[in-house]
Amino acid sequence: MHIADSFWGTLQAGFGVLNSLITRRRIHRKERIDIKTIMFLFLFGAVFTDLYKDKIYNLWIVPGILMGLILQLSRGTDNFLNALLAMGASILILMPVYLIKGIAAGDVKLFLMTASFLSVQDIFSCILFSFLIAGAISLIVVLIKRNRHATIHFAVPVMASALITIGGVL
């Protein structure tokens, strides 16, 4: 029940921001920050469930994608098309990695959700940084635990890379 409660709270906050975006003609810098904040709320929910349940639930992914696309559409059709292009690019990049079992399907979906909030350039950077961060974490795990077969929670590098890519929330 705690996950569902936090999800609905996040969704309500997102719809409040969406309502303020739709009612205003001009988008200010503060509102762009709110779009990034909403992305991080969805990412944080996915990281939480990945760490504690070893699964990234669609409860975070599907509403996150819809919210990202709606917010991008409210910023203009160019932003919306760029978000769709970013989602397509992330599928093209990550599908071969998924097919060789480099990442799980939930991780691919998490990148799709993140891409719905970002531009094509930002999602490329996000993917690159996340694999670098995941590699560093894997190296640390191998050195400390001496277990080459240990898995890592890839949602953590995705969230960290999104933070690096957009330069923080504030």
For the chain, what percentages of helix, strand and coil (3-state, to nearest 5) are there? 80, 0, 20
- Tally of CA atoms within 13 A in the half-sphere of 25 that contains its CB: 0
Residues 89 and 121: their CA atoms lie apart, in Å, by 10
d(CA 142, CA 104): 20
Taking the whole predicted model, whether its pTM rises above 0.85 is answered as no
CA 70 to CA 51: how far, in whole Å?
28
Q: Each residue's pLDDT tens digit in the chain (170 positions)?
A: 455 555 556 556 555 555 554 454 444 444 455 788 899 999 999 999 999 998 999 999 999 999 999 999 999 999 999 999 999 999 999 999 999 988 999 999 999 999 999 999 999 999 999 999 999 998 888 888 877 667 788 899 999 999 999 875 44
Structure tokens at 15: 């719809």
Classify residue 141 by burial, with Cβ atoms within 10 Å: 0-12, 13-18, 19+: middle
